[in-house]
Structure 1
Amino acid sequence: MVHLQKGRYTARLAEGPADVKAAQRLRAFCFGLKVSLDIDSYDSTCTHVLIEDTATGTLVCCYRLLTLCGADLPRCYAAQFYELSALETYEGLMMELGRFCIHPDWRDPDIQRIAWAAMTDLVDAQNVQLLFGCSSFAGTETAAYLDAFAMLRARHLAPPRWLPRVKAPDVFRFAARLRRKPDLKKAMRRMPPLLRTYLMMGGWVSDHAVVDRQMNTLHVFTGLEIGAIPAARKRLLRALV
């Protein structure tokens, strides 16, 4: 059972429908949806992690996790958008990270630190070998993110043996289309915080971005092989557990 505390924040697992509803409400707000709750069929099969202000109980961050093996991949969220047959031969358990969001009024870096520490605890407890998910850029226009996508193409594409193939009807094939040399400072400024953290730990991405007009995002499939995380970074994450 995850129950961690860092500074003024506590990480814990959702304990019932009320907790899941609170996460759905925060997600709808963070994603700018025109509904009060962000609900889908995956919520019932996932483990939900909540990060709260310890003093007030205010929910400031949430995400959900789904543990699966290669044969289970067709039932994960990302499989709606990416053709993942290459990963079906992956040996070891995988865990899908989804709906990660932090309340925009709360900018304390300790929130993301404790969120990743809680995730590390669950990954270690289940001996998960691959963490993956969809990392989102705000909006559906690519122009503002060309340096970020050029950097992903140059440095962070998935190994060919695991590369997701195109499935969604509307995609931006940045690996095939971009030949520009990225401005690294501009690239990192435009890189979503969650994706930036994945990359710092050795993560990799698909060669295309999905244009998701329902969620008003561009997203890339993102994978992180646990064995590839630098030892020093693993120690930092586990020091919080």
Structure 2
Amino acid sequence: MIGLSKGRYAARQAETPQDVAAAQALRARCFGLDTDADAFDNRCTHILIHRVSDNALVCCFRMMPLTGATISHSYSAQYYELSALADYDGKMVEMGRFCIDPEAADPDILRVAWGAMTSYVDAAGVELLFGCSSFAGTETADYLDAFAMLKARHLAPTRWLPSVKAPKVFKYAARLRRKPDAKKAMLRMPPLLRTYLMMGGWVSDHAVVDDQMNTLHVFTGVEIGSIPPARKRLLRAVAG
């Protein structure tokens, strides 16, 4: 059972249908949808981050345990061909539907969220954390330096590289020839993806154009054993 409190925020695991409904309502508001509930919700552990002062829900995400044999049942597998990861031997977890209330922007929220994620990963013995990392909007021109940076430094190992499955994709690794402007790239990189990358994360060589969610997203994986030791200590300090 996940539960931790750090400063102004506390993280806990959803325990009731009302908790899950609150997470779905926050997701819908953050993603600009009328509703945001799907069949995957019933198979996930939902993590809620509340502001201690008024118990307001400010962040949520969900975790789905998987193995190589079941990765085709993941949310990400709707958009990416993941058969290469079917040979992955260790435990996996898909982290999805991550959102932070835009009216509660505070870097401490993300720190507490990653602390809760670390607690879950450690308790379950997870070896690969993965999910879809989203850029707002579907215009690729806004993110060319970010994509060039992903191509130059952060592509998945060939043995795990997802193949194209979605009907609309931007094959940035094949198309881009530019040298990334590092400052512009990091300014346009989504905060969640930036954190994945600081942990040694890697991404697909293409982005999915998701018109329904009005996002571009890349498959993102983090091998827990490859996280830099200093970063692990920071995460576990929050988780503890």
CA distance in 1, matches of 2:150, 2:236: 27
CA distance in 1, matches of 2:139, 2:237: 39
Deviation digits for residues 207-234 of structure 1 (CA, Å, limit 9, x no counterpart): 0000000100000000000000000110
Q: Which runs of structure 2 are paired with 1:118-137 in the superposition (5 Å)?
A: 118-137=116-135
* Residue in 2 that maps onto 1:215: 213
* Residue in 1 that maps onto 2:69: 71
Could you list the runs of 4 or more consecutive aligned residues of structure 1 that deviate by over 4 angstroms after TM superposition? Answer: none
CA distance in 2, matches of 1:2, 1:47: 10
Offset of residue 54 of structure 1: 1.2
CA distance in 1, matches of 2:22, 2:105: 20
Which of 231, 234, 237 is the aligned partner of 2:229? 231
* Residue in 2 that maps onto 1:150: 148
CA distance in 2, matches of 1:152, 1:74: 25
CA distance in 1, matches of 2:52, 2:14: 15
Offset of residue 182 of structure 1: 0.4
Deviation digits for residues 184-215 of structure 1 (CA, Å, limit 9, x no counterpart): 00000000000000000100000000000010
Give the structure-2-normalised TM-score: 0.99
Offset of residue 105 of structure 1: 0.9
* Residue in 2 that maps onto 1:191: 189
Give the structure-1-normalised TM-score: 0.98
Offset of residue 75 of structure 1: 0.7
The AA in structure 2 aligned to 1:2 is I
CA distance in 2, matches of 1:174, 1:238: 34
Aligned length: 239
Q: Structure 1 stretches of 5 or more lacking a match?
A: none
Which of 167, 174, 177 is the aligned partner of 1:169? 167
Q: Is the aligned partner of 1:22 residue 2:26?
A: no
CA distance in 1, matches of 2:10, 2:149: 35
CA distance in 1, matches of 2:136, 2:166: 18
Deviation digits for residues 95-120 of structure 1 (CA, Å, limit 9, x no counterpart): 00000000001121110001000000
Offset of residue 88 of structure 1: 0.4
CA distance in 2, matches of 1:108, 1:178: 34
Deviation digits for residues 114-140 of structure 1 (CA, Å, limit 9, x no counterpart): 100000001000110000000000001
CA distance in 1, matches of 2:236, 2:72: 31
Deviation digits for residues 40-98 of structure 1 (CA, Å, limit 9, x no counterpart): 11001000000001121100000000011001011100000000000000011000000
CA distance in 1, matches of 2:138, 2:17: 32
* Residue in 1 that maps onto 2:6: 6
CA distance in 1, matches of 2:79, 2:66: 18
CA distance in 1, matches of 2:70, 2:152: 31
Q: Structure 2 stretches of 5 or more lacking a match?
A: none
Q: Secondary structure at the match of 1:128?
A: coil
Deviation digits for residues 149-179 of structure 1 (CA, Å, limit 9, x no counterpart): 0000000000000000000000000000001
CA distance in 1, matches of 2:39, 2:3: 26
The AA in structure 2 aligned to 1:27 is R
Deviation digits for residues 20-43 of structure 1 (CA, Å, limit 9, x no counterpart): 00000000111111x1x3111100
CA distance in 1, matches of 2:78, 2:66: 16
